[in-house]
Every structure is written in C-alpha cells, then in structure tokens.
Amino acid sequence: MNSQGFSRLAIGVVAIVFGFTSVALAGPPLICHAIEIGQAKTLPWVNLNYQKGSGGYDLKNLTRDTLAILDSNPSVLVRMETLRRATIYARQDPQIAKELITRLQARAAASDADNLGALVWFDVGYLAAAYKQWIGKGEPNPASGLDGYAWVTKAIRLRGSDPEMEFAAALITLGSPERDHRDHVQKAMAGAKTDPLLAQNLASNFNRQTISTLLTRGTAEGLKQ
C-alpha cells in the first residue's frame, strides 16, 4: 500500500463509531507493538524474550545509547520505538532502569519551555508510561509515583499541534476514560492525512486488528474501567 493508501485508511477510520464492547490485547501495546520508523536509527533490535546476558547488547551502554539517539532530534515515532526497546532492555537490570529514567527526568527538568523542552518532557513521560506497562507490580519500578501521561500532555502543550505525540497519548490512554482518549485518537488520525509514516502505524496490525481499530475500540473499553 502506498502512502496515499495509508492516509485514506487512517482518515476513514475517523468515521468509525466510538462504541465497541471490548479490546483484546496481545500484551501491553507500548511494549508489544513495534513502531514503524522506516530506516531511522534506533537501539538494536530486541524481542520480548530477551534475557540478561544474551542478545549481544551490553546493558551498561543503554542510558548512553538511548540519550545519543534522543539527542539527535529524531521524530516522535523514532523516540517511541527507541523508548520501547530501552524499556525491554531496562527491565533486565533494576539499576539500569533507574539510571535511565533518572537521567531523562534531570534532562527534562533542566530544559526550557520551548520546542526542545517539549521533546524531553515527552521522552521521560513516554518512558514512565512504558515502565508501568512492562515492569511487573511485584518488581521495583522506578516509574512508581510518576505520571507519564501528564508529562506527555505537557509536551503536547509546549509543542503545539503534533499528531505523532497525539498518537503516543492515545496508546497511553487506551482503556482510560473516553474523553481524553477519544480526543487524542481523533487528532492523531486527522494528522495522518499529511504524515504517511503515522498513517502506516495506524494501519499496522496488532493482535489481528489494526492499531486504528484498537484505539477506537479503546474508547468504549475505557467506560468500563
């Protein structure tokens, strides 16, 4: 499917009624669904069965490598995929997990309220949300007590209109109250008309349904929480 086809699909989904009965998840969407980023650079590929001491990646380099990618000013979609992979790696070592999110918090706190500030607040917010989905309740979680969603919405306010950030917020709020989630979904889908890679992500499959369908169904699911 070409970029126009993806855009048409994303636009068409806006017309779907926000009212399905359930959402069947294969796993935490921030973790278990890879973000399409084309040929952009990110962390080495990692699967969900990664175990410490295997995979050929040295966890001691995780914070350095993650920051290097984020500081290169990639797109929001690349940031999402980088932080998804970082979370999978970080779960293997609590000290590394804490180091990474602490560095991102400090980086955001030192930022100015400008476009760069929006990106660094997005980074720490998305990582905190990913940690909460991937690190089990019985394990030490350095994101405990942190409101990643609030930081992502702060980033959206600082950034202004950014459909890719709205897409991230829609994934984070899947299963949350209807109003906030629906607003993020609508803005992401509207922006996909001029963002072919975002449209491709909305059209990608997750647990035998498209991400766009998952997000629209998530509105109805949130009413049951």
Nearest in space to 187 (alpha carbons), one of 159, 222, 161: 161
Q: Which residues pair with 209 in a beta bridge?
A: 206
Amino acid identity for residue 58 in this structure = D
> Could you give the percent of the chain with pLDDT greater than 90?
65
Burial class (CB in 10 A: 0-12, 13-18, 19+), 22: exposed
Nearest in space to 210 (alpha carbons), one of 4, 77, 16, 2: 16
Query: Which two three-digit tokens encode residue 136?
Result: 């089990």
Residue with the larger pLDDT of the pair 143 and 115: 143
Positive or negative, the Cα torsion across 34, 40, 43, 44? Answer: positive
What are the pLDDT digits (tens) for 175-220? 777 789 999 999 999 999 999 999 999 999 988 899 999 999 865 4
Is this model's pTM higher than 0.75 or not? yes
What are the boundaries of each domain within the chain? Answer: 3-12+26-33+59-222
What are the pLDDT digits (tens) for 124-166? 999 999 999 988 777 789 999 999 999 999 999 999 989 999 9
Give the Å distances, CA to CA, from 150 to 21, 31, 49, 123, 218: 27, 19, 30, 12, 19
Dihedral through CA 150, CA 152, CA 156, CA 161, nearest 10?
-130
Q: Which residue in the block uniquely carries the two structure tokens 């086809």? A: 5
What are the pLDDT digits (tens) for 166-184? 999 999 999 777 789 999 9
Q: Which residue in the block uniquely carries the two structure tokens 């989904």? A: 13
Query: Which two three-digit tokens encode residue 181?
Result: 């989630």
